[in-house]
Structure 1
Amino acid sequence: MIDLNNFLFSIQDADKQCGSEHDTMTTLISIFLCIGLVVSYMPQHYRIIVNKTSEGFSAWFLLLGVVSSTSSFLNIILLQWDAIVCCKSLSTGACLEGLLGVFQIMLQWAMFSLVFILFLIYFPENQKRVNNLDLPAKLHDMTNEWKTALLVAVVCIGHLAISFFITVILLAVVGSPSEHWETNYWAGFLGIISMILASFQYLPQIVKTWKRKSVGALSIPMMLLQTPGSALFVYSLAVRPGTNWTAWITYLVTGILQGTLLVMCIVWRIRNKRLGIDDLHGTRIVNEETPLLRDESN
């Protein structure tokens, strides 16, 4: 059974140190980013749901993204733990203002995790099973792509469970990062893991999109909203009391890589429209004018 004495003592001690620091500009930027973050992900969620397919997504891109955002979320909770504890002695408005940085990263984690959930739900049916010539025609085996997607889901859930358990144990038994090196090291470790994974997060997706030469279920409007917003997001986190570079460096790297993917998707979209290729599935669009176009080219 966990001894909560240290945890309760940290709450009582924090009450003496709590103070409300009001920065109107930072607060407005944070609120704008929270709203913008949710709005920016809507085109991606909508595109997958309406088209009923997540074709074109890289499972490894989603794995790195979910694990990175989960680590970043737990990192900011640890770094802002004193502010969370201070809510006990502050007004509701002052508490919410002090925790806007936490809300930002929580929303980032939730919105990206929803993309991964939709990826699993709308995984193309024709890519889940493959005929096994050694078995009767009605029997099928899972494809490597579907196996990878399921494996990624298990890893993401396992990482969340283990990291959350360690975080709770450290806060309850040891104390906040500002007073105990063990918790501070764990927060730093989560931040560094998040940074490293984010540095490679978009590479599998960039490679897959380059090979497919089509956008697939990726949303260009989402990236158009998020890429320039990354600069504001980084700034709003960097100026918050109690945070350090491990809390915002992830989003700086991610923004640069996302911009690269955005440019690639725009190029493929223009190219495929000119060549008459279905940008969602990467196949040629066949209609009544297609034979005439081919005849003219001959």
Structure 2
Amino acid sequence: MSYFVKRDEGCSIYDGASTVNLIFSILITFGIIASYIPQYVRIYHKRTSEGLSTNFLLLGSCSSIFTLTNIILISSIARTCCISGELNMFNCINSQLNLIQIGIQCTCAILILVFVLFLTKHSLKQDKLEYQRIVQVGHWVTLHGVVSLIQVIIGLAGSRNLLYTIANTNGLLSTLLTVVKYLPQIHTTYKLKHPGTLSIPMMCIQTPGGFVFTATLYFTKGSHWSSWVSYLVAASLQGTLLALCIYYVYVKGQGEELEREAIDRIIQENLHDEVDRIQEDDDEEGSPLL
């Protein structure tokens, strides 16, 4: 499904969908879900955001919302063709597969942020200042979700020109963020010299999956280069990130040691802060009343 659709394209562009592409798209949909599970499990066991860039969490969530907003609006054109009876059942289902895929991918990406927010909140292994920044990220992502919902309502209720304008704006912003969202995480991993909570198995699944997903978008009826080029670049950048993590963990063999040192430092800082807080409470309780 194209991010940018010309105004003179009709329902015929969705005809002749490929059965092979349909099967691959369905498999990729399940693959998207499976690829995020190692990251969720790692956050659950680690109970820390150490190694995860807050900018990566922000840009990753927002790029997914931009993409979802775009595809909801653009896919509504095909849904109109389905309702009018100009497309058969097979072509209708095929025309909505990208909406399903991107909707699932958006949900999975935002769940990383949700897991970090809820599972690390009271953890001794979580840097408190970093957690406050992640809370701010949660606020921004929530606000973005509300704004996008309003955009969808306005786009679907307004004229076709307005729908195109909103969809293409979100598509452009999605492309931009999808391309650059890995840069802060690459910088963080390079600086720390260990992956931390970042899941290597997740990237092992998603990196080749990103190239396959790019191919399915490329071969989807009505596809445009703008609908797949951002995923191609993102898969390449994620591959760079994966190579860094593998190098630090398996080649240099220093990943676990550096991560352990970082976590120990955070625990000591949190314990020190907790002792100071208890001491302050005892001082206040023992102070004489005036």
State the TM-score bracket (shorter-chain normalisation).
Answer: 0.7 to 0.9
Is 1:173 matched with 2:168? no
Aligned-partner SS, 1:225: helix
What corresponds to 2:138 in structure 1? 153
What corresponds to 1:133 in structure 2? none
Shift of 1:170: 1.8
Alpha-carbon contact 2:193-2:258 (below 8 Å) kept: no
In the alignment, the residues of structure 2 paired with residue 197 and residue 157 of structure 1 have an alpha-carbon distance, to the nearest angstrom, of 17
Alpha-carbon contact 2:14-2:95 (below 8 Å) kept: no
The range that moved more, 81-90 or 250-259, is: 81-90
What corresponds to 2:66 in structure 1? 71
Shift of 1:276: 6.7
Aligned-partner SS, 2:209: helix
Aligned-partner SS, 2:52: coil
Is 1:264 matched with 2:244? yes
What corresponds to 1:201 in structure 2? 181
Deviations 1:82-111 (A, max 9, x none): 222334346665533321111111111111
The residue type equivalent to 1:36 in the other structure is G
Deviations 1:238-280 (A, max 9, x none): 2323443332222112111101110000011125646871646
Alignment of 1:71-90 (within 5 A): 71-88=66-83, 89=85
Is 1:55 matched with 2:50? yes
What corresponds to 1:96 in structure 2? 93
Is 1:122 matched with 2:108? no
Using the size of structure 2 for normalisation, the TM-score is 0.78
Aligned-partner SS, 2:106: helix
Alpha-carbon contact 1:216-1:279 (below 8 Å) kept: yes
Alpha-carbon contact 2:194-2:255 (below 8 Å) kept: no
The CA RMSD measured in Å over matched residues stands at: 2.7
In the alignment, the residues of structure 2 paired with residue 117 and residue 172 of structure 1 have an alpha-carbon distance, to the nearest angstrom, of 31
Alpha-carbon contact 2:60-2:177 (below 8 Å) kept: yes
Alpha-carbon contact 1:214-1:280 (below 8 Å) kept: no
Question: Against the structure 1 CA distance between its residues 241 and 81, is the aligned structure 2 distance closer, same or farther, given a 3 Å change threshold?
Answer: farther
Question: Against the structure 1 CA distance between its residues 50 and 244, is the aligned structure 2 distance closer, same or farther, given a 3 Å change threshold?
Answer: same
- Which is richer in helix? 2
Question: Structure 1: which 5+ runs fail to align?
Answer: 1-14, 130-142, 285-298
| Count of aligned pairs | 253
In the alignment, the residues of structure 1 paired with residue 261 and residue 112 of structure 2 have an alpha-carbon distance, to the nearest angstrom, of 19
